[in-house]
Structure 1
Amino acid sequence: MAGEICIEVLPDEVLVEIFSHVPFKDMVFSVQRVCTRWRDVSRDIMLWKSIIYCPNYRESDNEIADILRRIPNLRILVLDRAVQAVVLNAFMQNCPNISSLELSGNQKISTKLLKNILMKYSSLDQLGLPSSVLSKLELVQIIGQFNHLKTLIFSGWSFEDEPMDLLLRPIADGCPALECVDIRGKLVMYDELAYLIEKKGPQLHNLCMRWCSQDRKCNLPLLSKCTALKSLHIDSYCEIGVEEGFKALQRLKTVTSLTFFVLHNAQVSSVMSIFSHGSMSQLQEFTMSYFLNYEDKLTETIIRHCPQLKLLCIEQCPRLTDRSVENLHLLTELQTVSLSGAAITDTSIMYLRKCQNLRSLSLKYCMKLTEESMKQMANFSNLRTLNLDYCVVGGLPLHLISTHMKQLTLLSIRNCPEVDKEAVAELRKKMPHLTVNDEVHFGLGVEDDWEIVGSLYPSAEDDDVYDEDCILFNQLRDV
């Protein structure tokens, strides 16, 4: 018909915009096979500027390598599990533009491999490596030669840290552009960490570290050197240097993002003191998990002293009740709330409806929510993501989501009883842009969700370690 425009006449920049909305696998295995032009446009460097390739555990090494050969302009590669040489060779031979590379905490790193990465990607912005490399001087010296590196991540946990001398000094003396460091994966000696922070502290914007050192000293007083710090992640609280540790946190004035992971049995009054002194008035993101002694008055203190808060995640703190939620609407900038594992009831849903700017909500493992609260979910019309894993969702009005929650892009209802499968199928048809996670896993139930239990020690594979994780989770859940 006259006047019709076919896709072949569209300029390349328009095709790039269209392809930017195509799912990753469809881009690689469908779009690229249509014709030579589509293949070339789908590999446009601008299209791949922000795309992250993170293979899932179902993909074999050969499948991963095949994909890597088809995406030569890949910029960001995350390998969450150890891979064989076929994968390592594939990205180094076919993906010359990688700027961010993260290897698994279980990946074996040889001197030859790390030298090849340095030669091939000397301008890397971000590099993630197993914590084990820090025990080998020749590997740490190579890391220090990355002159453009801004972010350095060391991953790989174990339930109990085996004695291991970890070396940070060559990194402190090298890596001149370093701004972000994550060394929470292993315990390091105090002097090594002190040397790193002495050298790099004034330029660090993001720091993730353990509460104490391998030689049983509190690491937090070292933060006085980090005068430009914006994001701080404190891992594995222990009763070492408690007073000096919390006093060090009170002196921080520039932090906008604060995370406590595994607070165990810290005193509520000590945690409250961080906020009571006004040092966290600039805070925009606060995350806290696995805090056995949590009390609602801590939430009230945060609301009172952190008016700019946009993200609040208080997860696996089973003493958190409706009282914590009652005044969340006073945080007028609040967009993301996660209350995973809380003891909240249907009353909290009514309180949350007052949060006008709420965009993301997670109520995972909130076992006290009933079908009555689920009926109210359609009233959250501005939500983009909603996580109700392990909740009773029989009352969830799936038929109203397409008309009442038009902006929703992710709905997670994994391991939820009474899910209407026909309604889910109909919802997927009406909202093709919406991702619905409704898998059911049999076996251990709640403990089988590795995102919660296994996140304590992601690299641990020993059954005894896993059992101890489950015991910890059960203790938290039974409080």
Structure 2
Amino acid sequence: MASESEHSGECHAAGEDTAVRRTSIDHLPDEILINIFSQLSFSELVDVVRKVCRRWRKLSRDSKLWADKEYHVGVSRHCNSKNCKSGRTEREAIRIFRSARSLRKVYMWRTVNRHVINVLCNKCRRLTDLHLHSAQVFSYSTVTDLVEQCSRIQTLRASDELLRTERASVAVSRLQHLRVLRLQERHVLNTPVVHPFVLRPLADGCPRLVEIDFGHLSVNMDDLKYFLNAKKNTLKSLRIKWSMDGTRSLLSLLPVYADSLECLELYEYDIARDLAREAFTTVGSLRNLRELWMSVPDRVPPGAAALAFTNGGLQELKVLGLPYGCGVEDNTVIAISRGCPSLRQLSITRARKLSPAAFSEIDHLEHLEVELSVEGCQGDPKATDRLTEQMPNLVIRGTVRARLQLFYFGPPEDNIVNADKRPESDEDSDSDSSVGSNDSERG
């Protein structure tokens, strides 16, 4: 049975009947206190815990507490959990950087003064994720400070301004832990600022780089070829435009990744019409792809998109997204259902011709139990009805809408009818040629 002293928070020391000592939270070891602090929010760690005493201030900086914490500069709507904190002013950001020196993840949704980035580099040297605004300007000294002080960065998002000069690109290439690099066009007042950037030094550095996103940037084809050849054994994810000038398709450079590339996203379809079939066939040769996103506009020749999923198909593909899939036809959906047996998530948007015959093949995809999205697609509204019966675990987002009809607008007293059905009144049959000419112009 517990003694009365134990109930009151007091305990007797061994061998001492009369000596009594009182225990408190200060007697807990550091490990337990850190475990307690891990349940607190970002704001509580910065604004409360660190102000209690010197010991708590020191423990509040333990790296274990900051592995999942994020700080956002600018828009606060990106913070939706206790592990996030946001500030709108540069002064607030500087205060946080000086207080939370073990901060790992920083997102900047607005441009900031160079001094803010310098404070971040000098104080938060354990930084692993840094996302900068696309209009942020860099000086060479800022780039070198970032590389030297925050050498543990693993994910970096910035404008192409970061690689504007040879020596700046060489500095970035010294990030030994960099795994993900996302580049953006620099925008000033919503206007893109286009200038070349230097890519080759990254090919010889950044040994752990596995993912690169070129966004909508135009890359020199010779530099790109050099980069892809240098990273063919390490690069797993690539996001880039279909081609650089509409004629030189970068897909001709990708066969070296046939066994290594796992994620591919292709922006801005601008392939010349006579090269379309070759381009989609090349996509289908990347046998190890797990995730594929590509736009399929309406100017794609009929049957070309299906070539990415025929000739053996993409057997390992699990996620497929076809945004702006205006050129997706029934034969494309059928080819997907037959050539991608491991598919778990399929998203098709804005397709214009989809029938039940195409979706009747999808029930062969045994692993498609996560999501099927048909947002903005047109065709037979009943195209997906059968899937909900045969695949009860499948989540279908959106519905296939009926195709738009052309209408014939006759005289005010006539009703609206289909364009391919003319009014059958006597007055219409007796109309002269000039009226028929006007009708054809409306059509």
Same fold at TM > 0.5: yes
2:353 paired with 1:335: no
Match of 1:137 in 2: 166
Judged with a 3 Å threshold, the aligned counterparts in structure 2 of structure 1 residues 66 and 273 are, in CA distance, closer, same or farther, namely same
User: 2 CA distance for matches of 1:331 and 1:120?
Assistant: 50
Within a 5 Å distance, the mapping from 1:28-47 to structure 2 comes to 28-29=46-47, 43-47=61-65
Q: Number of residue pairs matched?
A: 366
Determine which structure has greater relative contact order: mean sequence separation of CA pairs < 8 Å that are 6+ residues apart, divided by chain length.
Answer: 1
Cα distance in 2 between the residues matched to 1:151 and 1:198: 18
Distance 1:295 1:334 in 2: 23
Partner of 1:97: 126
C-alpha displacement of 1:116: 0.7
| 8 Å contact kept, 2:324–2:349 | yes
Structure 1 position 281, deviation (Å): 0.6
Q: What is the CA deviation profile of residues 178-233 of structure 1, one whole-angstrom value per residue up to 9, with x for unaligned ones? A: 32222233111211211111222232111111111248411001002224111111
Paired residue for 1:217? 248
Q: Tell me the residue number matched to 1:113.
A: 142
Cα distance 1:162–1:20, how it changes in 2: closer, same or farther (>3 A)?
same
Q: Distance in 1 between matches of 2:218 and 2:355?
A: 34
Whichever residue aligns with residue 264 of structure 2, its letter is L
Write the mapping of 1:291-302 to structure 2, written as runs, cut at 5 A.
Answer: 291-302=325-336
In structure 1, stretches of 5+ residues that fail to align are: 370-479
Instruction: State the distance in 2 between where 1:51 and 1:308 align.
Output: 35
- SS of the residue 1:233 aligns to: strand
Distance 1:24 1:362, change over 3 A: farther
| Offset, 1:312 | 2.4
**Deviations 1:9-44 (CA, angstroms, capped at 9, x unpaired):** 987666666765665556545666677776655543
Q: State the distance in 2 between where 1:141 and 1:7 align.
A: 54
Q: Distance in 2 between matches of 1:11 and 1:355?
A: 54
SS across alignment from 2:227: helix
Range with bigger deviation, 160-169 or 53-62:
160-169
**Structure 2 residue 268 is matched with structure 1 residue 236:** yes
Aligned partner of 2:202 in structure 1 is: 171
Give the letter for the 1:217 counterpart: R
1:202 matched to which residue of 2?
A: 233
Report the Cα offset of residue 74 of structure 1. 1.8
Note if contact 1:206-1:232 (Cα within 8 Å) is conserved in structure 2.
yes
CA distance in 2, matches of 1:223, 1:81: 35
Matched, 1:308 2:342: yes
Answer yes or no: is 1:150 the counterpart of 2:168.
no
Output the CA distance in 2 between the equivalents of 1:105 and 1:14: 42
TM-score of the aligned structures, taking structure 1 as reference length: 0.64
Name the amino acid aligned to 1:46: K
Distance 2:41 2:375 in 1: 29
Q: Is the 8 A contact 2:134 2:158 kept in 1?
A: yes
Correspondence 1:184 to 2:202:
no
Query: SS at 1:232's partner residue?
Result: strand
SS in 2 for 1:53: strand
Q: CA deviation at 1:130?
A: 0.8
Letter in 1 for 2:232: G
Instruction: Report % sequence identity.
Output: 25
Moved more, 200-209 or 143-152: 143-152
Letter in 1 for 2:218: L
Q: Which protein shows a greater Rg?
A: 2
Give the deviation of 1:124 after TM superposition.
2.6
Conservation of the 8 A alpha-carbon contact between 1:101 and 1:126: yes
Partners of 1:37 and 1:361 lie apart in 2 by: 54
Using the size of structure 2 for normalisation, the TM-score is 0.69
* Preserved CA contact (<8 Å) 1:129 1:155: yes
Partners of 1:332 and 1:215 lie apart in 2 by 36
State the 1:177 CA deviation: 3.0
